[in-house]
Amino acid sequence: MDIDEYQRLSAETDQVSDGENAIVVPLLGLAGETGTLLSSYKKRLRDGPAHEAFEANVAEDVGDVLWYLANIATKLKLKLSDVAARNLVKTRGRFGSPTPGGRAFDDDAPDAERLPRVFEITFEERTQDGKDVLLLFLDGQNVGDALTDNAYLPDGYRFHDAFHLAYATYLDWSPVTRFVLKRKRRSDPSKDEVEDGGRARVFEEAIAALAFDRARETGFFEGVERLDYDLLATARRLVAHQEVGVRSAADWERAILEGFRIWRTLRTNNGGRVRYNRVLRTSEYLGH
């Protein structure tokens, strides 16, 4: 029996198919049967092998949960197989392996408009006009603006280009990095405006700032292996209409965590050199 046939047949035993309670009853039933399932497992923990009816009880409880789920889907005009398929896409994207390296988004662009495949960035702190600032260098040339933390209390945000460079390395996407390195795809007016333009940079800065705010609560993600799904979903939602929209939650998780790994090292060492390899999707702190 496939899941859609089960949904159709289970609807034939529905006792409250219309009226204001039509959806409330299965919602309450789902909550109740979930409680029953938990109770069966509680008895298993308490009694161990003595709880001989465990497997039979759980099979019945899971069946009742399935009936209520099918009933809710039917009343909300959802096809259970579609719901299941969308859920698999979500869970595989969240817990599957990151996308392997392959064709880059800018492979068709002229050489001068491509992000470097392998490159080193130097994060160097200097004093300008009596103020401590951070400068970035590529091949000995200053790129981008002088940065400070832009905060009353120092928090290391001046090193946050490490996040953008991580997005470029692990997601093959970073309008901010393209702008800083002067690698916008101007030969393609559409990509220049939509993919590499000001609005895209605003989205990227918003994601970086949101991740930084969340990271404050957990030691800036040190020792963290999994991120809150809401953070990953928000990041993907903001750029769903862009080329990076094909990247999964797992891809975003890796990019964010790797960006913070380098950021923490830069903050601890007050800067240094970092090698980025977009072909192998790696980043390595090289010291000062």
Mean pLDDT score across all residues of the chain = 92
Tell me the mean pLDDT in the region 146-157: 92
Same domain (yes/no): 82, 132: no
In a domain, 151, yes or no: yes
Same domain (yes/no): 88, 125: no
Same domain (yes/no): 124, 248: yes
Residue 136, beta-bridge partner list? 123, 143
Same domain (yes/no): 196, 236: yes
Same domain (yes/no): 116, 80: no
Instruction: Indicate the range of 58-62, 113-117, 135-139, 267-271 predicted with least confidence.
Output: 58-62
Same domain (yes/no): 119, 261: yes
Confidence (pTM): 0.81
Q: Which of 33, 60, 95 is the last residue of a domain?
A: 95
**Encoded amino acid at 189, one letter:** P
Cβ-contact 278, 117 below 8 angstroms: yes
Q: At 279, is the secondary structure helix, strand, or coil?
A: coil
Instruction: Indicate the range of 30-39, 190-199, 276-285 predicted with least confidence.
Output: 30-39
Q: Is pLDDT above 80 for 111?
A: yes
Q: Nearest to residue 154, comparing CAs of 136, 134, 137? A: 134
Same domain (yes/no): 24, 148: no
pLDDT digits (tens, 9 = 90+) for 164-199: 999 999 999 999 999 999 999 999 999 999 999 999
Q: At 98, is the secondary structure helix, strand, or coil?
A: coil
Number of structural domains the chain divides into:
2
In a domain, 278, yes or no: yes
pLDDT digits (tens, 9 = 90+) for 119-141: 999 999 998 887 889 999 999 99
Q: What is the pLDDT of residue 119?
A: 96
In a domain, 269, yes or no: yes
Same domain (yes/no): 154, 248: yes
Identify the band that residue 210 occupies on the pLDDT scale cut at 50, 70 and 90.
very high
Same domain (yes/no): 60, 189: no
Same domain (yes/no): 10, 122: no
Q: What is the pLDDT of residue 52?
A: 66
More confident position, 275 or 132? 275
In a domain, 102, yes or no: no
Q: What is the pLDDT of residue 93?
A: 74
Q: What is the pLDDT of residue 50?
A: 62
Q: Which of 34, 63, 95 is the last residue of a domain?
A: 95
Same domain (yes/no): 35, 11: yes
Contact partners, residue 224, CB within 8 Å, separation at least 6: 218, 257
Q: Note down the domain range covering 32.
A: 3-95
In a domain, 233, yes or no: yes
70: CATH? 1.10.287
In a domain, 140, yes or no: yes
In a domain, 101, yes or no: no
Q: Nearest to residue 282, comparing CAs of 138, 118, 86? A: 118
Contact partners, residue 92, CB within 8 Å, separation at least 6: 248
Q: What is the pLDDT of residue 19?
A: 82
Strands 131-138 and 118-128: antiparallel
Identify the band that residue 228 occupies on the pLDDT scale cut at 50, 70 and 90.
very high
Q: Is pLDDT above 80 for 101?
A: no
Q: What is the pLDDT of residue 97?
A: 67
Q: Is pLDDT above 90 for 44?
A: no
In a domain, 104, yes or no: no
For the chain, percent of residues with pLDDT exceeding 70: 96
Same domain (yes/no): 50, 128: no
Q: Which of 65, 95, 125 is the last residue of a domain?
A: 95
For residue 191, report the phi and psi dihedrals to the nearest 5 degrees.
Answer: -65, -35
Cβ-contact 40, 54 below 8 angstroms: yes
Q: What is the pLDDT of residue 102?
A: 63
Identify the band that residue 202 occupies on the pLDDT scale cut at 50, 70 and 90.
very high
Q: Measuring CA to CA, how many Å separate 19 from each of 22, 30, 77, 173?
A: 6, 19, 16, 51
